[in-house]
Structure 1
């Protein structure tokens, strides 16, 4: 049998299964997004990865988290993470076009194979809840897809609530409540502006930075976040 005919027969055999897999992915992803609009996220891919890393390093598994509704969190913490991570969060539909353009120019200039920067809070939630870690155009494509879904099916309040409950905020600590008790010995409902800003400070690299032992860089970042918080004034959903 000629090669082209074999290839055609193979494609014809595989194509129906491929179509079913694609349909199953779309249906499953939409249903999972709808489900997580109403129920707490039990765990994320990153949580599983970190536990496996701890086991691999011969350490005891540590996964500290405590889900809290947005209404039970201090109003200062969503304000702080917006001031730090995404000041246009309330206004955009999942993507900050200005930041994307800036990141694109930066990536073109560096000529790297990975894409960096420009992630909104919505995109970070999509990545944290539904995707693996790493930087590649493939993962970025899935991130865009899930960002669109959560912007369609979730409210801004829900996106922020999920973010503040699943974000890594220390080695084995996830969410504002766990981080508040670790660093400040208080509930996240009691966080003042300075404490909330300190938590927002460590988000880029929570296993490296600590609000209890701030470097000069972290202190400057804290001051910058506090200025942004004052400029934003508050959060109006």
Structure 2
């Protein structure tokens, strides 16, 4: 029994130490730009070991300040990913439940469609899932957590999202998110995405270009290789129409 208690105590101490590490990491981000995220390091390893890169473009990323990112892109991402961004405290519980129900239906339909498309020799398209996660939750996951899908990891994500909201401003959260989010194989951040897809800096993105980038976010690698997707064009038009109502921090 004493041995078990010692192990439980060690686990508790390790858990508290990890939480303290996360809190300190987030605190430093108020003034220091993060050099990389947990997700980026994972992707860099896969590119290096599995040959998944793009030749001389294996990694594209360059940090730019908030003011040098087009307001069009900020509005497009908020309109597409998290319309209540400036109002919530990091988590939207109702949105999570709605997304869970909607995604279950989408995955069931996509499974049936995939079988039909493979029978015709066509590549099936992944289901169009809608994340219930806020921008803050996505940032928490990408910055500090692994990609595994477990209840424990999801719980940690919710705690970290709340911590981000407490310790950082909404503007800083959006700035870090836009500079680190994935927009293709080895393409991270608004500046790299703008250069990769439109040959221009992020500060000069038009509303239509920004909307197109925003729509790519749930499945960036898929849309990178399917730029002519009808869904991408249709959804981009919808986001352009919603952008004027998107409020910026």
Q: Under a length normalisation based on structure 2, what TM-score does the superposition of the two structures give?
A: 0.82
Find the aligned partners of 1:215 and 1:108 in 2 and give their Cα distance: 23
Higher helix share goes to which structure?
A: 2
Q: Is the CA contact (8 Å cut-off) linking 2:75 and 2:248 kept in structure 1?
A: no
Q: Is the CA contact (8 Å cut-off) linking 1:74 and 1:191 kept in structure 2?
A: yes
Find the aligned partners of 1:66 and 1:217 in 2 and give their Cα distance: 29
Counterpart of 1:42 in structure 2 is 35
- How many Å apart are 1:211 and its aligned residue? 9.2
State the structure with more CA Rg: 1
Find the aligned partners of 2:103 and 2:184 in 1 and give their Cα distance: 29
Find the aligned partners of 2:6 and 2:217 in 1 and give their Cα distance: 48
Gaps of 5+ in 1: 1-7
Q: Superposition RMSD on alpha carbons, in Å? A: 2.5
- How many Å apart are 1:131 and its aligned residue? 0.6
Give the counterpart of 1:21 among 14, 32, 48.
14
Secondary structure of 2:143 counterpart: helix
- How many Å apart are 1:96 and its aligned residue? 1.9
Gaps of 5+ in 2: 109-129
Q: Is the CA contact (8 Å cut-off) linking 2:74 and 2:248 kept in structure 1?
A: no
Matched, 1:190 2:183: no
What CA deviation, in whole Å up to 9, does each residue of 1:183-219 have, x standing for no partner?
1111101111111111101101111103982311111
Find the aligned partners of 2:101 and 2:35 in 1 and give their Cα distance: 38
Q: Under a length normalisation based on structure 1, what TM-score does the superposition of the two structures give?
A: 0.86
Give the direction of change, closer, same or farther, for the CA distance of 1:94–1:185 in structure 2 (3 Å limit): same
Aligned residues: 226
Find the aligned partners of 2:9 and 2:71 in 1 and give their Cα distance: 51
Find the aligned partners of 2:231 and 2:64 in 1 and give their Cα distance: 30
- How many Å apart are 1:89 and its aligned residue? 0.5
Counterpart of 1:3 in structure 2 is none
- Tell me whether 39-48 or 164-173 shows the greater mean CA deviation: 39-48
Counterpart of 2:172 in structure 1 is 158
Give the direction of change, closer, same or farther, for the CA distance of 1:48–1:184 in structure 2 (3 Å limit): same
- How many Å apart are 1:102 and its aligned residue? 1.4
Matched, 1:98 2:94: yes
Counterpart of 1:130 in structure 2 is 144
Find the aligned partners of 1:108 and 1:175 in 2 and give their Cα distance: 30
Counterpart of 2:126 in structure 1 is none
* Mapping for residues 66-215 of structure 1, pairs under 5 Å: 66-105=62-101, 117-210=131-224, 213-215=227-229
